[in-house]
């Protein structure tokens, strides 16, 4: 009986060793991927922080509150109020009023631009750096814990099998070893499930790298659109200003005055 048990024991131990080697190989590859993900997290976090510092409005505020807090809005109000105080008979007053309205339109364009940046770039970057990557890294730590649990269960089981070979109360020792074997199998299943889920999440993360990279393309596209709209506002008001000053403005050649 001991001879048969020894053969089964050796076969099972071989399977366990293969599983342990597979875990080691997986742990090494996961460690490499983990370092890459952590670097992506840090870079995304730092970029998000610097991008927020470029905003003139208050992040998270609604459109109306954001518009009111913009420096351009305050400038617009000051110019319009100054124009009203100087009156319609003052050329300076007229210019301040017209320019104040233009600054208010520019403030509106800036407000819409920053809302878009927050929605299409800042929020996704924050989600990536503060939620998605940390959640995957937590799974990595959970896998490491489950591997330790498996190693501990396996060590107890191996010790129990050795006791069977050298012991006298074979039946009791075998029953104990069988229970420990169930613990090993359960621990192994938990490791496999966690490993598969972690691998799937990591694959999903890297398959979306193009999407993550596109956040920065979106930033430049939004900035280009904002500047085009702002330029349109300025070009629409300049002829009015020049006309009020008694200067003919050539709309076909904006740099030509007579």
Predicted confidence (pLDDT) per residue in 126-149, tens digit: 999 999 999 998 998 898 899 999
Q: Between 29 and 110, whose confidence is greater?
A: 110
Opening angle at CA 140, ends 135 and 142, nearest 5: 90
Report the largest interatomic distance among the alpha carbons of the chain, rounded to a whole angstrom.
Answer: 116
The backbone torsions φ and ψ at residue 255, rounded to the nearest 5 degrees and listed phi first, read -90, 0
What pLDDT, on a 0 to 100 scale, did the predictor assign at position 29? 67
Q: Between 257 and 45, whose confidence is greater?
A: 45
* Cα-based distances in Å from 92 to 32, 76, 97, 243: 66, 15, 9, 14
Residues with Cβ < 8 Å from 144, sequence gap 6 or more?
27
- pLDDT at position 249 over 50: no
| pLDDT over 90 percentage in the chain | 48
For domain 29-235, give the fold: Substrate Binding Domain Of Dnak; Chain:A; Domain 2 (1.20.1270)
Residues with Cβ < 8 Å from 112, sequence gap 6 or more?
63, 226
Task: Count Cβ atoms within 10 A of the Cβ of residue 184 and give its class: 0-12 exposed, 13-18 middle, 19 or more buried.
Answer: buried
Q: Summarize the confidence of residues 213-241 as an average pLDDT.
A: 94
Tell me the domain boundaries of the chain.
29-235
Tell me the pLDDT band of 90, cut-offs 50, 70 and 90: confident
Tell me the pLDDT band of 22, cut-offs 50, 70 and 90: low
Tokens describing residue 203: 């694959």
User: Would you say 207 and 200 are in contact if contact means Cβ atoms under 8 Å apart?
Assistant: no
């Amino acid at each position: 009986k001991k001879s048969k048990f020894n053969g089964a024991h050796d076969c099972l131990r071989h399977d366990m060793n293969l599983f342990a080697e597979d875990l080691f190989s997986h742990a090494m590859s996961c460690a490499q991927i983990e370092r890459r993900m952590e670097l992506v997290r840090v870079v995304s976090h730092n970029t998000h922080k610097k991008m927020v510092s470029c905003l003139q409005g208050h992040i998270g505020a609604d459109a109306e509150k954001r518009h009111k807090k913009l420096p351009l809005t305050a400038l617009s109000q000051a110019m319009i109020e100054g124009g009203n105080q100087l009156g319609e008979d003052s050329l300076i007053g007229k210019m301040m009023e017209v320019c104040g309205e233009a600054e208010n339109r520019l403030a509106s364009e800036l407000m819409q631009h920053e809302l878009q940046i927050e929605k299409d770039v800042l929020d996704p970057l924050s989600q990536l750096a503060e939620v998605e990557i940390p959640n995957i890294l937590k799974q990595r730590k959970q896998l490491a814990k489950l591997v330790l649990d498996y190693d501990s269960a396996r060590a107890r089981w191996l010790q129990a099998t050795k006791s069977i070979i050298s012991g006298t109360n074979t039946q009791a020792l075998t029953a104990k070893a069988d229970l420990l074997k169930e613990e090993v199998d359960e621990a192994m299943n938990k490791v496999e499930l966690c490993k598969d889920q972690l691998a799937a999440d990591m694959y999903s993360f890297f398959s979306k790298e193009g999407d993550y990279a596109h956040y920065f393309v979106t930033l430049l596209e939004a900035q280009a659109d904002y500047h085009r709209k702002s330029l349109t506002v300025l070009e629409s008001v300049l002829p009015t200003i020049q006309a009020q000053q008694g200067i003919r403005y050539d709309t076909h050649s904006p740099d030509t005055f007579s």
